Amino acid sequence: MSVDGWNSLLVLGGIRSGKSEFAESLVADAPTVRYVATAAEGDPEDAEWAARLAAHRARRPGSWTTEETAADPGRLAEVIAAAGPNETLLVDDLGGWVTVLLDPAHQPADDQATVAELAAAVRASAARLVLVSPEVGLTLVPTTPLGRAFTDALGETNRAIADACDAAVLVVAGQPAWLKPAAPPRPAVPAQAGPAQAGAPARPPAGSATGQAAAVPGPAEQALPEVLTPAPPPPPAPALVTETGDWAAPTMALPMIATGLVIQPGMELPMPDDYAGPQAVDRLATLDIPGAGLGVLDRVVAFAAATQGTPTPTPWSSVRVLLLHGDHAGGASAGAAPGESARRAQQARAGKGALARLAAESGASLQVVEAPASAAMEDGPALTADQVESALRYGWRLAEQAADAGVQLLVLAACGAGTEAAAAAVLAATAGAEPPAVLGRVVTEQGEYDDVAWMARCAAVRDALHRTRRAPRGAKDVLAELGGGDIAMATGVLLGATARRIPVLLDGPVGVAAGLVSRDLAGQARHWCLLPDHGGQPAVRLAADVLGLNPLVDLRLDLGEGATALATLPLLRSGLALAASLPVHPSLAGAEDEEEFAEPEPAGPGPTTTEPEPGPPPVDPEFAEPEPAGPGPATVEPDEPVAVPDSAGRRAD
């Protein structure tokens, strides 16, 4: 079972809201589940109540065991307290438990003390625990004393259990709305950190261990990787000249950048232009287009207009692809061939492979970046706090380097082993995702599905979330515990690109996971991102929905992260080129615009002097076509032919 960042969860919902079905779906993949039934049997003559209980029993798999606690209200706390760490408990529901608690047969009793004992058992439970409870506080106050006693007791119980649980979710009309994520609230931080002294090491993030010795970055900055310009296949591309030292240089302890920038939550970065996007879309409706328009490409025009700050955006002429290569150890990379990701990265450096060829066709430069390798997240943190800080700053520097080179668009790509599982863990910790639902099936080199490897990845994510269920869920904490080097570096790229007003094309789990993490550091970053296609990947679909990014196309390409964005780039450029170059429709153009299409009068030899020849009587000025105005006096030059009006009042050339 995937704990999704929580170990205990309270599921609230109204009558027939689907809360029980939702709770059952959360534990459906657990090997064994103990179903704790709290409701009493009720009146034997109440057929409707008996049918409800029978429906609940029928939904339970045969592998589940059932334990009833209706005989004693204190029994529920005992069952929860006695459950071991390998057990999964589903309690359905607390409304039935409160009914038993208020039963005169169990009075007099200290009901508040009983509720407190239950909350303490939930808080201290080592088992995976899901509790279901009806939410009755949204209706009118009952008119009967017994009804008021029940709603008051259930409301107090829900509050106590929600406080004890790691997470709480409200199910409305079958749709879950997460009320209390597993992450605790972030501490207040300044809106923007002031620049530190150049060469001074950054302060460790809050909550990091200070008793351990940390490597202090040196004064010199590490050189950024070389920017490659792949050539199209015909003719064969010349050998690319690279400096081996740049590629082999370690990235595990990157130095502080010269500006002394401190990346922290609450940074105030620029936003795209709020007015240019809508103005560009309104302008599209006036263009001379022989059809219904640009379709979904109008969103591209609006995005480009907002990021360029003009209602008439131009196609991106300078594009750079950042290929991040960083492997994840442990079960996250189950099913990946050893050394395959390194071969892909080296292939891209040589200008070969799908990504490099697509970059060449699009005229984009390519930069291969080595990210820090990530440890097995199920066993411990994927990165140290210092490595997270270094990766974030390094990604920021990559974006700054691109901006200084005049790059107008960045494409974020990745090729590390285990990136899908790391992204799924980040989605679970930040967006409440179920890892099995967002982890795509593992495909071998032979094109076959490896479900054993998929289960190993799910287990790695499950164990990592269980290990960190009490840990903080700040952006840097998530990167250190779960995300790893490539997602941390991608987050730095997004932040740096936002600071320099460079739009970014996302294409794959690493990019969208970085987008989710960047929200806690600078909420403006997601507004500079565009998602051309979700690639059929469930993780990308969910993250796009959370980030508010609507994919433009549905090509279902599977060529590696970044390749789909490059494949769609010519289409995006074409839409921008049409929007920038097409004229306004003649029916919407003014008189000045129509003169642009007037046919010029031919020039030719003529007599040096001329007199008007007799012609038809003059036409009423109301119907006469006015002659175009021109500069200079209205005199006839020696070489200009004379125009004589014809019978219709038009000038005869």
Which active-site residues does the annotation give?
561
274: its two tokens? 């709020």
- Note whether 154 and 136 are within 8 A (CB): yes
Which residue type is seen at 536? Answer: G
Q: Judge contact between 460 and 380, C-beta under 8 A.
A: no
Q: Tokens 């002429």 — which residue?
A: 317
Q: Is 457 helix (H, G, I), strand (E, B) or coil?
A: helix
Query: What H or E segment, with its residue span, contains residue 359?
Result: helix 353-362
Please give the single-letter amino acid code of residue 391: A
The DSSP bridge partners found for residue 505 are 411, 530
Distance, CA of 329 to CA of 417 (rounded, Å)? 8
| Pairwise CA distance, residues 64 & 49, whole Å | 22
> How far is Cα 193 from Cα 496, in angstroms, rounded to an integer?
15
Please give the Cα distance from 21 to 11 (Å, whole number). 10
Tell me if residue 629 falls in helix, strand or coil.
coil
Q: Do 534 and 554 meet the contact criterion of CB atoms below 8 Å apart? A: yes
What's the CA gap between 277 and 258, in Å, rounded?
35
Angle ∠(546,548,549) on CA atoms, nearest 5: 110
Cβ contacts of residue 650 below 8 Å, gap of 6+? Answer: 625
SS (H, E, C) 49-111: HHHHHHHHHHHCCCCCEEEECCCCCCHHHHHHHHCCCCCEEEEECHHHHHHHHCCHHHCCCCH
Mapping DSSP to helix (H, G, I), strand (E, B) and coil, where does residue 197 land? coil
What the block records as the tokens of 248 is 């082999």
Closest CA to 22 of 171, 198, 142, 222: 171
**DSSP assignments along 388-447, one per residue:** HHHHHHHHHHHHHHHHHTT--EEEEEE--TTHHHHHHHHHHHHH---HHHHSPPPB-TTS
DSSP letters of 578-603? HHHHPPBPGGG--HHHHHTTPPPPPP
Name the packing angle between helices 297-308 and 563-581 (round to 10°).
Answer: 80
Burial 550-577 (b: 16+ CB within 10 A, else e): ebbbebebebbbbbbbbbbbeebbebbe
Q: In this structure, are residues 166 and 469 in contact, taking their beta carbons and an 8 Å threshold?
A: yes
Phi first, then psi: give them for residue 240, nearest 5 degrees: -80, 135
